[in-house]
Amino acid sequence: MADLEKTKVPTPAPLDWEYAPAPESRDIVRFQERYGLFVGGEQVEPLSGEWYSTIEPANEEHLAEIAQAREDDVDRAVQAARDAFENGWSKLPGSERAKYIFRIARILLERSREFAVAESLNSGKPIRESRDVDVPIAAAHFFYYAGWADKLEYAFPNRRPQPLGVAGQIIPWNFPLLMLAWKIAPAIACGNTVVLKPSHTTPLTALLFADVCRQAGLPPGVVNIVTGDGRTGAAMVRHPGIDKIAFTGSTGVGKEIQRTIAGTGKRLTLELGGKAANIVFDDCALDQAVEGIINGIYFNQGEVCCAGSRLLVQESIYEQALSKLKRRMSTLRVGDPLDKNTDVGAINSREQLERIEELVESGREEGAEIFQTECTLPDRGFWFPPTVFTNVAQSYRIAQEEIFGPVLSVLTFRTPEEAVEKANNTAYGLSAGVWTEKGSRILWMAERLRAGVVWGNTFNRFDPASPFGGYKESGFGREGGRHGLEAYLRFE
Ligand code: NDP
């Protein structure tokens, strides 16, 4: 025993030296002072005559003025989309549509640094993520669906796939460009035209994307972008000229949309919230699992619908897992989103920060134990430190509600059956993760977990070829893969 003690390698303390700043230059992006709506291939002034300021969440500085579209602006965009649908796009051979979509993908890659910087400025996410995840995966979606455009008959043999018409697409602020790509690429590959509304807090990469459409020579009206807040989204949902609504956002708004379009014959896909379980068994490679837990909840400040926000650890390794986790958390760097060393950036808006703070407060009040890393948060902007709650009961709000911030709730289990029961004890069903050395156990768990995506020994992996979507209050319909085409087609 004594010999064993001697050979133990002491765990090194987290390094206490500081990194030098490594800021990405912002000169590559030149925002216009004002952005109109992108309708019929041009930037037009909003009929509403209303504008608002979009800001940098990291310091609350003004970035550009953005048009607030109202009902008649939406109507104008729907008309443009309808014209483009009837008079060309839906009749083009798939191989011709593909050329435009491939072009868009290539331009996105050529302009990737500009898009990454713009995304980090307007959303608050670290440049490392926008550069290495958001932009390349957005481009990959355009490449992937360009490939399908002329093969729809093969994707659905003997079913004569036809486009739906005009798709109204409403996207959130957590992955502005990536959600745009998830929505626009399959829709136009299938021969539909679109009216897309980005979130009012993060419109800039969608507006830069309008320029990509022009650069690619995309026929006017195939893609239209209307900016504005929830009222603009609601006007799209009500518009009789829209054939399909694709929505990503909160469960509350998703339900409202479903009620509004009931009986209208409009098609609908909803990608809503989540409260994913990240399940760690005692036979896993623990250091890798800890990386997966960190990535699962602190990636994009936890503002991720499929975030692994509930950690389920097997009781036998609880102490060890928590100590490794806390140590790893203490090395996370929170701060300037444009610094290449930053791991956790700014929260997207004041409203979102207040939601996180309110839920964290409820966790304290209900009796959970809180651990936060010691980090100096900038004075201006919206910030929240990486946080973990232990002593969490399943009934606590922090174990049930989507926090959408860098906050992890830890629960324990003893047997695989108990892990399944606890993981499924949620109104949501979007994703889950399983960490174990046994492939058979991953399959056993995946069969029982009520989640649209189950990751095995990894987390938050996205691939355009792989369908994504939820069960229960996480919504319905799938995006990505061949399944993602089906949402934009009818069959004769
Ligand atoms: P919302 O559901 O309000 O926003 C999603 C999109 O819908 C945005 O473009 C929004 O516009 C728009 N919208 C808002 N109200 C309506 C409406 N009545 N009809 C049509 N469209 C509408 O989410 P929030 O931004 O308010 O975030 C709230 C919570 O939702 C978060 O804390 C998180 O828990 C969850 N969420 C989940 C997401 C996911 O990926 N599943 C993404 C975002 C949020 P605008 O933003 O301009 O108001």
In order, the DSSP letters of 187-228 are HHHTT-EEEEE--TT--HHHHHHHHHHHHTTPPTTSEEE---
C-beta of residue 405 within 8 angstroms of C-beta of residue 388: no
Q: What share of the chain is helix, strand, coil (3-state, %, to 5)?
A: 40, 20, 40
pLDDT at 273: 94
Burial per residue of 40-65, b for 16 or more beta-carbon CB atoms within 10 angstroms, e otherwise: bbebbebbbeebeebbbbbbeeebbb
pLDDT at 4: 46
* Residue 402 CB less than 6 A away from ligand 1: yes
Ligand 1 center from residue 356 Cα (angstroms)? 15
Alpha-carbon gap, residue 453 to 85, rounded angstroms: 34
Percent of the residues in the chain that have a pLDDT greater than 90, as a whole number:
95
> Can you tell me the mean pLDDT for 248-273?
97
Assign 490 to helix, strand or coil.
Answer: strand
Q: Which one is catalytic: 271, 303, 479, 486? A: 271
User: Which of 52, 231, 250, 404 has most ligand 1 atoms within 8 Å of CB, for mutation?
Assistant: 250
Ligand 1 center from residue 379 Cα (angstroms)? 27
* Residue 248 CB less than 6 A away from ligand 1: yes
* Residue 477 CB less than 6 A away from ligand 1: no
> Which 8-state DSSP code applies to residue 22?
-
Ligand 1 center from residue 249 Cα (angstroms)? 4
pTM here?
0.95
Burial of 18 (0-12, 13-18, 19+ CB in 10 A): exposed
Residue 7 has pLDDT above 60, yes or no: no
Domains of the chain: 26-272+473-491 (3.40.605.10), 277-463 (3.40.309.10)
Residue 282 has pLDDT above 70, yes or no: yes
Residue 8 has pLDDT above 70, yes or no: no
Helix (H) or strand (E) holding 118: helix 112-123
Percent of the residues in the chain that have a pLDDT greater than 70, as a whole number:
97
Computed over every residue of the chain, the mean pLDDT equals: 96
* Residue 172 CB less than 6 A away from ligand 1: yes
Ligand 1 center from residue 273 Cα (angstroms)? 10
Integer-rounded Cα Rg, in Å, for the chain is 23
Alpha-carbon gap, residue 352 to 385, rounded angstroms: 14
User: Which of 53, 170, 201, 237 has most ligand 1 atoms within 8 Å of CB, for mutation?
Assistant: 170
Q: How far is CA 411 from the centre of its chain?
A: 25
* Residue 190 CB less than 6 A away from ligand 1: no
Q: What tokens does 48 get?
A: 């509403």
* Residue 344 CB less than 6 A away from ligand 1: no
Is 61 noted as a catalytic residue in this protein?
no
pLDDT tens, 143-181? 999 999 999 999 999 999 999 999 999 999 999 999 999
* Residue 250 CB less than 6 A away from ligand 1: yes
Is 45 noted as a catalytic residue in this protein?
no
Residue 360 has pLDDT above 60, yes or no: yes
pLDDT tens, 119-148? 999 999 999 999 999 999 999 999 999 999
C-beta of residue 402 within 8 angstroms of C-beta of residue 351: no
Residue 6 has pLDDT above 50, yes or no: no
Using the atom order of ligand 1, give the atom closest to the CA of residue 402.
34
pLDDT tens, 43-95? 999 999 999 999 999 999 999 999 999 999 999 999 999 999 999 999 999 99
* Residue 401 CB less than 6 A away from ligand 1: no
Residue 19 has pLDDT above 90, yes or no: no
C-beta of residue 475 within 8 angstroms of C-beta of residue 469: yes
Name the amino acid, one letter, at 472.
K
Residue 491 has pLDDT above 80, yes or no: yes
Alpha-carbon gap, residue 183 to 202, rounded angstroms: 16
* Residue 343 CB less than 6 A away from ligand 1: no
pLDDT tens, 195-253? 999 999 999 999 999 999 999 999 999 999 999 999 999 999 999 999 999 999 999 99
Ligand 1 center from residue 113 Cα (angstroms)? 27
Contacts of 341 (CB under 8 A, 6+ apart): 19, 22, 128, 333
Ligand 1 center from residue 323 Cα (angstroms)? 36
Ligand 1 center from residue 230 Cα (angstroms)? 8
Q: How far is CA 128 from the centre of its chain?
A: 16
Name the amino acid, one letter, at 483.
H
